[in-house]
Structure formats: C-alpha cells, structure tokens
Homo-oligomer: A and B are copies of this chain.
Amino acid sequence: MNEEVAGDLRVLRLSHRPGRDDRMTTHVALTARAFGADGVILPEGAGQAARTAEDITDRFGGPFEVEQVADPQNVVATHDGPVVHLTMYGEPLEEVVTSVRSAFDGAVGLIVVGGGKVPGAVYERADWNVAVGQQPHSEIAALAVCLDRLTAGGWADRQWTDADRRIIPQASGKRVIGEGESAGYPED
C-alpha cells in the first residue's frame, strides 16, 4: 500500500515478446515498484523481467508483489476494481487524475500498460483511457508520470522493508549500504 492512494495499486503489462521485450518489461516492472505500485502482473513469457523485479525487491526492499499470468487480457476483463489503460489516444492525465485517485482509494486499482497493439476490448473495459501527453513517447515514461500523479509524489517518501541495501545520496560518486553496486541504473 503506497502513501497517497490508500488502496492496492497493481500494474499489468499486457503483452510481451520474449527476448525482444525483456528490457522494456523489466523497466516497466521496476518503474512500477519505484513509483508506488504494490505489485506488477506480467505475462508468462516475461520470466526474466519477473526474476529481475523479484531480485531487486529482495535486495532493495518491499513489499512489492510480482505475478505472472497466462492470460493478461483476462485479468483486465475480470478485474474487480477500477481500471486505467495508458494510451496516447486517451484523455489527458491532468483532467482525470482526481477522479482516478478517488476511485482507486480503498480499491484494487489496475493500471494497464500496453506496448504494441491493444485489443479494443481493453479500451472498452477500461474505466479511463489515459494519455500522458498526446505525443508518442514511451510506456515506461507514461507509467512513471501516471504513478507520480496518482501518488501525488508520495512515492519519493516510501519506506522499504526487508532491504539488504540502501543507497545514500551523494553529490558525487556512489555510496551503498550493503553489498557494492556497479551501475547507475541496472543493465539487463
């Protein structure tokens, strides 16, 4: 449960091409975790992304749940709670964010991140089709800014439990409590 939306916030990655989409899906999962979601639901083929997200959660803390499902579209169809679908064709985030936040409060809210071609049924089931800018960019950027707005920036104050490692902010260089890390952002 994150700070600002007193509900359970899940991110669903709708499609995944094994190999080709591994890094993108990994970044979707880690962005979900870092910006205040309580868990991510990934397609069955996204085992590498799931393992990375679990590994980061083991090392840097949780709670953050990683699930894999055989039929992500069915998760959307049967979801018992409000559904947001991120698409550049949707309504501007700033116009709907207050309504979305109210609907997610006390509920299990689902944020659907497409990628490639998204079936019409997802647009129809979604309570909100939401655009983070009416420009082509990145589903990772869209997810980050959407979660930022939904949590009203509260992701930055999240306290992590069971973390083996903690990064200590530095004006220059790197400082990690726990084992040493080498990269600025994780490579795949």
Contact = CB atoms under 8 A, between A and B. Distances in A.
B182 A135 contact: no
A31 interface: yes
Interface stretch (A66-74, A76-84, A90-98, A102-110): A90-98
Given A24-B23, A131-B167, A138-B27, A156 B92 contact: yes
A128 B123 CA distance: 41
Interface in A12-61: 23-24, 27, 30-31, 33-35, 56, 60
Interface string A106-122: 00000000111110100
Where chain A touches its partner, the secondary structure class is: mixed
Given A137-B34, A184-B88, A145 B145 contact: yes
- Chain A, interface size category, equals 35 or more
A100 to B, nearest CB: 13
Given A123-B173, A136-B185, 18 more contacts: A27-B137, A33-B137, A34-B135, A56-B135, A60-B135, A88-B167, A89-B167, A90-B169, A92-B156, A114-B184, A129-B170, A131-B169, A134-B168, A136-B186, A137-B185, A140-B144, A142-B144, A145-B145
26 contacts: A23-B24, A30-B137, A31-B138, A31-B140, A34-B135, A34-B136, A35-B141, A60-B135, A87-B174, A87-B185, A89-B176, A90-B169, A91-B171, A92-B169, A94-B156, A123-B172, A131-B169, A134-B167, A134-B168, A136-B186, A138-B140, A140-B141, A140-B144, A141-B143, A142-B185, A145-B145
